[in-house]
Structure 1
């Protein structure tokens, strides 16, 4: 398992898919509000003048010498729900991120957010 502090150290490193194809650059780590464990990361993709942040689960991510490998195909990740580089994921859009990857969505305590940026 990757601890939140460990994964945050990989900010600005390459994120690759299960076939070692480049997806983008690790931007931020989001933890599950119930467990405080890493749940998702945002990956900066797109052209330099049109960057966006796509979400990808990191529960099964593997850290290499200079990359973070996620067990998803690049096309799946790049088609995931995204936000602008200066935007925040609206709480009402969280469930769509989980559904995109076929993961169960559990709202946080008291019906709040499941994801929190760290």
Structure 2
């Protein structure tokens, strides 16, 4: 597990897939609200004039010199749910992010959000 203190230092560093192919640049980290552990990262992808942020799970991620390697192929990450570079993830869109990676989703006991940006 990557510690939140460490992963924050990797903002604006490359995010690569399991084969070392560059996906984009790490923009921010979303934590699981139940545990406060890093759960997802947003990665800046797209053309210079049309950037967007895609979500990728941090489970199984590894940090290296100048990059974070995620455990998912580039194609899967690029097809993941996205938001605008200045946008926020609406609570009602959280299940789609988890579903894209075939991960179980359950909101908090009181119906609260599962992810929070740090």
44-53 or 103-112, which deviates more: 103-112
Aligned to 1:2: 2
Question: Once the 2 structures are TM-superposed, how far is the Cα of residue 40 of structure 1 from its aligned partner?
Answer: 0.3
1:36 & 1:89 partners in 2: Cα distance? 17
Which structure shows the higher strand fraction?
2
> 1:32-111 counterparts in 2 under 5 A?
32-111=32-111
Aligned to 1:22: 22
CA RMSD of superposed structures (Å): 0.7
Question: Once the 2 structures are TM-superposed, how far is the Cα of residue 57 of structure 1 from its aligned partner?
Answer: 0.2
Q: Which deviations, in whole Å up to 9, do the C-alpha atoms of 1:13-51 show, x marking residues without a partner?
A: 000001100000000000000000000000000011100
Which contiguous aligned blocks of 4+ residues in structure 1 show a shift greater than 3 angstroms? Answer: none
Structure 1 residues 103 and 84 mapped into 2: Cα distance closer, same or farther (>3 Å)? same
Question: Once the 2 structures are TM-superposed, how far is the Cα of residue 109 of structure 1 from its aligned partner?
Answer: 4.1
Consecutive unaligned residues of structure 2, counting only runs of 5 or more, are none
Instruction: Give the conservation status (yes or no) of the 8 Å contact 1:27–1:44.
Output: yes
Alignment partner of 1:98: what SS?
A: helix
Q: Which deviations, in whole Å up to 9, do the C-alpha atoms of 1:67-115 show, x marking residues without a partner?
A: 1000100000000000000111110000000000010012124111000
Alignment partner of 2:47: what SS?
A: coil
Instruction: Give the conservation status (yes or no) of the 8 Å contact 2:59–2:71.
Output: no
Aligned to 1:116: 116
**How many residues align structurally?**
118
TM-score (norm. length: structure 1): 0.98
